[in-house]
Chains A and B, each alone.
Chain A
Amino acid sequence: MQNCPKCKVSVVGNKKCCPLCQNKLSGKGDFETESYPQISNSKYIDDFLLKIISFVAIVCITISISINFLIESSSMWSLFVVAAILSGWITAIVGISYRKKLLQNITNQLFLLTLLAVGWDYFTGWRGWSIDYVIPCSCTASLISMFVLALVLKFPTTQYIFYLVISCVYGIVPIVFYKLDLLNVILPSIICTASSIISISAIVIFEGKNIMTIVHRKFHI
């Protein structure tokens, strides 16, 4: 065992210096008795990926604004580039962060993407494509993917039902657009609302009890 003549302590393992005063140790160390494993610098890969994405986003934004200034054009086209990059960035960050929670990820993305779509549609001279196509199509797609994932990955009911209900409720929203006469194309919205109503009635009829317990725990005060 090693000893520190200054601190008068004995040291287990094979150390290069006294852990307390960092002076030289006397005696012979034995690596075999080391009581903690040596951890090579912990890898935070996901963290690193997020950093790279954020950095690339900032670089692209800066470059496009700079070019906009250099080429003296009358329009601020770079604002669109910036908005596009920011949209992509936030989608990527949310997607990567929640990658271990698939269903929650789908729900988050559903809200995020549809909101972004409405935003883009609104600021580029409202042509209605976001509520005609994007909202109903992504609602239907997320419903289908949730059902398939839950079946294939054999999730317990309690794990997916909450997100499924949220998506279904959201899927009924297009009927409001129809009522308000906002739609140019009605087919996607009809499909979306119909499938949402069918899904939600299936859930209520077969899993009503589970829904109540989940609501209870999610909203307990």
Chain B
Amino acid sequence: MQHKSNQQKLSWSRLDNAAKIFPSTSVKTDTRVFRFSCELKEIVDKDILQQSTEYALEEFPHFQSVMKKGVFWYYLEQTDLMPVVELENQVICPPIYDEYKTNLLFKVSYFKQRINLEMYHSLSDGTGALQFLKSILYYYLTTKHKDKLASMPIPDFNASFSQKKADSFRKYYQKPPKSKSKKIRAYSLKMERRNSWSLQVIDGLVSVKNMLALAKSFNTTLTAFLASVLIEAIYKEMPVQSKIYPISLMIPVNLRQFFPSETTTNFFGTIEVNYNFKKNSPELVDIIKEIDKQFKQQLTKDQMAIRMNNYSAIEHNPFIRLVPLNLKDFFISNARKNIDKATTTVLSNVGKVTMPQELCPYIHSFGVYTSTLKMQLCACSFQDNLQLGFTCAFLGTDIQKNFFRTLTSYGIDVELRCNDFYSEEV
């Protein structure tokens, strides 16, 4: 990264409510970095990508920030560091925030036909990162194919700079009534870890049409179907004596669909669905029925508001706010261990990615991956390509195997990509 100029910028911003959690809880393979990638139908040109990233950054000025430590909270400070596009040469979702260095909180890299945007979660959530990647793609494709796309207008995101960096958690915060919900301990994945601190990626490309038809035949939505298949896949590897614990999936939900917001900082909540195999039947049909019911119960505006306000309440507590940052780090990372005990794994479905009609012929698919301490599944679709990306810190691949075998047993064609098991080792 290089200094663009010596101009002085003084602007800074607080971290939003969700972002505050991430710096204290970035550990080992769970770097709190996520990756969006886009596979084009042509080899990526480095110089054009560099230029496009710089153009796109002008539309998202608050992404040009570094994170610093204050006395009570971390904060983002504007910088004039410029991103440098690189050939992909690191493990997936590598640590981006480093207390000992000053660098941007996102990275753009490329490999063959693929463009990767890796982002630290304190900067933004999936929705914000995806908008940024779309903007990069717009500039990339219109520069690369000037002759054909010259007349294409700049897609308007309809949001001002201040709307983009607004903290919507604060905007919608209402003090919640006191409630004590006890977390149930969930089954925790325990397997031998990979040798190095690197994540294994196994992603399967399937047809959206076929998957939707399959989910429909079970009378459910795609996310609930994926969740159920994942629960079944985990169940098949579960030791008998662990069956007293339910399998619990945490599912991030984009809050913008419930609470209108144009922000590109974090604005997501989570729901939890769980299934207890000791009390319920292990048949996929029954799992789907139960999970579908839980989805419908939780995915309402009222339910999401309660959860959102409960999380925000911590940040609004004046006593907690006055605790020095280092102590906060300690408490938050401990609290995280308790939350981890209540979840088996995370399933994140980003949903359908749309691009302007004119750009679609150049794009093959989108993918999304997150860092994790254990194993995590992310899904996202573009046109008829649904990418199911597993990132995993374990050596074993049995859960992924069960998951994809269930899909193929229903006649779904799966095309696998993986960053492991090379036949020629370097």
Question: Which residues of A are in contact with B by a Cβ distance under 8 Å?
Answer: 1, 7-22, 29, 31, 34-42, 97-101, 154, 156-158, 210, 213, 217-221
Give 19 A-B pairs besides A15-B422, A156-B80, A213-B10 with Cβ atoms closer than 8 angstroms.
Answer: A7-B404, A8-B405, A8-B408, A9-B415, A15-B421, A16-B421, A16-B422, A16-B423, A19-B416, A20-B405, A22-B397, A31-B424, A36-B419, A154-B3, A157-B8, A158-B9, A213-B12, A218-B71, A221-B321
Set A34, A37, A210: member contacting B89, Cβ < 8 A: A37
A-B residue pairs in contact (CB < 8 Å), sample of 16:
A9-B414, A9-B415, A11-B418, A13-B422, A14-B422, A14-B424, A15-B421, A16-B421, A20-B416, A22-B421, A36-B201, A38-B425, A39-B91, A39-B198, A156-B8, A219-B70
Q: Is the CB of A41 within 8 A of B196?
A: yes
Question: How many chain B residues touch A (Cβ–Cβ < 8 Å)?
Answer: 58
Q: Which residue of A lies closest to B322 (CB)?
A: A221
Q: Is the CB of B408 within 8 A of A217?
A: no
Query: What's the minimum C-beta distance from B20 to chain A, rounded to whole angstroms?
Result: 12
Chain A CB count within 10 A is highest, among B14, B322, B415, B419, for B419
Tally of contacts, chain A with chain B, CB under 8 A: 139
Q: Which residue of B lies closest to A97 (CB)?
A: B100
Tell me, in angstroms, the Cα distance from A133 to B397 when the chains sit together.
Answer: 63
B175 within 8 A of A: no
Tell me, in angstroms, the Cα distance from A210 to B15 when the chains sit together.
Answer: 21
Tell me, in angstroms, the Cα distance from A64 to B413 when the chains sit together.
Answer: 67
Query: What's the minimum C-beta distance from B299 to chain A, rounded to whole angstroms?
Result: 31
Q: Is the CB of A9 within 8 A of B321?
A: no
Q: Is the CB of A19 within 8 A of B414?
A: no
B277 within 8 A of A: no
Give the secondary structure class of A's interface.
loop
Contacts of B413 in A (CB 8 A): 10
Contacts of B68 in A (CB 8 A): 217
Contacts of B94 in A (CB 8 A): 42
Q: Is the CB of B102 within 8 A of A42?
A: no
Q: Is the CB of A158 within 8 A of B10?
A: yes
Q: Is the CB of B397 within 8 A of A217?
A: no
Query: What's the minimum C-beta distance from A6 to chain B, rounded to whole angstroms?
Result: 8
Tell me, in angstroms, the Cα distance from A98 to B100 when the chains sit together.
Answer: 5
Q: Is the CB of A221 within 8 A of B72?
A: yes
Q: Which residue of B lies closest to A9 (CB)?
A: B414
B401 within 8 A of A: yes
Tell me, in angstroms, the Cα distance from A31 to B421 when the chains sit together.
Answer: 12
- On whether A13 and B426 interact (CB within 8 A), knowing A20-B405, A210-B10, the answer reads no
Within 8 A of A (CB), among B1-56: 3, 6-10, 12, 14
Set B114, B196, B415, B422: member contacting A10, Cβ < 8 A: B415
Q: Is the CB of B418 within 8 A of A19?
A: yes
Chain A CB count within 10 A is highest, among B94, B414, B423, B426, for B423
Contacts of A17 in B (CB 8 A): 421
Query: What's the minimum C-beta distance from A85 to chain B, rounded to whole angstroms?
Result: 23
Query: What's the minimum C-beta distance from A107 to chain B, rounded to whole angstroms?
Result: 13
